[in-house]
A and B are shown apart, each in its own frame.
Chain A
Amino acid sequence: MKIHEYQAKRIFQEYGIPVSTGMVAETAMAALAAAKEIGFPVVLKAQVHTGGRGKAGGIKLVKMEAEAETTARDILNLTIKDLPVRKLLIAPAVEIKTEVYLSLLIDRGASVAVFIGCAEGGVEIEQTAKTNPEKILRLEVKAAGLASLTPEQCLPLAGKLFADPGQANATAEIMAKMGQMFMERDCALVEINPLIVDNDGIVSALDAKVLLDDNALFRQEQNKSLRDLDSEDLVELDAKAAGLSFIRLDGEIGCMVNGAGLAMATMDIIKHFGGEPANFLDVGGSSNPDKVVTAFKMILKDQKVKVILINIFGGITRCDDIANGILAAMKQFKVTVPIVIRLVGTNEKEGRALLAGTEMVVAETLEEGARRAVEMSQGR
Chain B
Amino acid sequence: MSILADKHTKVIVQGITGRDGSFHTGKMIAYGTQVVGGVTPGKGGQEVHGAPVFNTVAEAVKETGAKTSVIYVPAKFARDAMLEAAESPLELVVCITEGLPTLDALVAFEALQKQGIRLIGPNCPGLITPGACKLGIMPGEIHMPGRIGVISRSGTLTYEIVSVLTKAGMGQSTCIGIGGDPVIGSRFLDLLPLFEADPGTDAIVIVGEIGGQDEVVAAKYCQEKMQKKVVAFMAGLTAPPGRRMGHAGALVGGEDETAAAKIEKLEAAGIPVAQVISEVPALLSK
A interface with B by C-beta (< 8 Å): 106, 108-109, 111-113, 126, 142-144, 146, 182-183, 186, 188, 213-216, 218-219, 245, 247, 249, 257-265, 267-272, 277, 280, 282, 284-286, 313-317, 344-346, 365-367
Contacts and interface: CB of A to CB of B under 8 A. Distances in A.
A320 to B, nearest CB: 12
A259 B154 contact: yes
A345 B275 CA distance: 24
A263 B245 contact: yes
Given A264-B209, A265-B157, A280 B237 contact: no
A142 B106 CA distance: 9
Contacts of A272: 275-276
Interface string B53-94: 000000000000000000000011000000000000000000
A290 to B, nearest CB: 15
B246 interface: yes
B51 to A, nearest CB: 19
B135 interface: no
Interface string B96-112: 10111111101101110
Interface of B: 19-20, 24, 27, 75-76, 96, 98-104, 106-107, 109-111, 125, 137-139, 142, 152-160, 163, 180, 182-185, 207, 209-210, 212-214, 217, 233, 235-240, 243-250, 254, 259, 275-278
Contacts of A315: 125, 137-139, 155-156, 159
A144 B98 contact: no
Contact of A261 (B107, B156, B214): B156
A216 B101 CA distance: 5
A184 B115 CA distance: 26
A261 B206 CA distance: 13
7 contacts: A144-B111, A215-B248, A218-B76, A261-B235, A269-B276, A316-B137, A346-B139
Contact of B160 (A113, A126, A366): A366
Contact of A264 (B98, B158, B213, B238): B238
A170 to B, nearest CB: 26
A317 B153 CA distance: 18
Nearest to B109: A111
A245 B233 CA distance: 22
Nearest to A129: B254
Nearest to A344: B163
Contacts of A245: 244-246
Nearest to A236: B243
Contacts of B237: 268, 271
Given A108-B183, A108-B212, A261 B155 contact: yes
A170 B244 CA distance: 36
A124 B180 CA distance: 28
A365 B182 CA distance: 31
Contacts of A268: 235-238, 259
Contacts of B158: 261
B160 A108 contact: no
B210 A264 contact: yes
Contacts of B246: 245, 259-260, 263-264, 280, 282
A81 to B, nearest CB: 9
A280 B157 CA distance: 15
B240 A247 contact: yes
B102 A213 contact: yes
Nearest to B212: A108
Q: Top 6 nearest A-B pairs by Cβ distance?
A: A261-B154, A260-B246, A259-B156, A261-B157, A216-B101, A262-B156
Contact of A262 (B154, B238, B278): B154
Given A111-B184, A215-B248, A315-B138, A261 B153 contact: yes
A260 B180 contact: yes
Nearest to B185: A111
A325 B156 CA distance: 19
A274 B239 CA distance: 16
A144 B236 contact: no
A2 to B, nearest CB: 11
Among A111, A142, A219, A282, the most chain B Cβ lie within 10 Å of the Cβ of A111
A22 to B, nearest CB: 27
B106 A215 contact: no
B239 A345 contact: no
Among B160, B184, B275, B276, the most chain A Cβ lie within 10 Å of the Cβ of B160
A267 B239 contact: yes
Given A215-B100, A267-B239, A272-B276, 16 more contacts: A111-B185, A112-B106, A126-B254, A218-B76, A247-B240, A249-B238, A259-B154, A259-B155, A260-B245, A264-B236, A265-B277, A270-B238, A282-B246, A313-B139, A316-B96, A366-B160
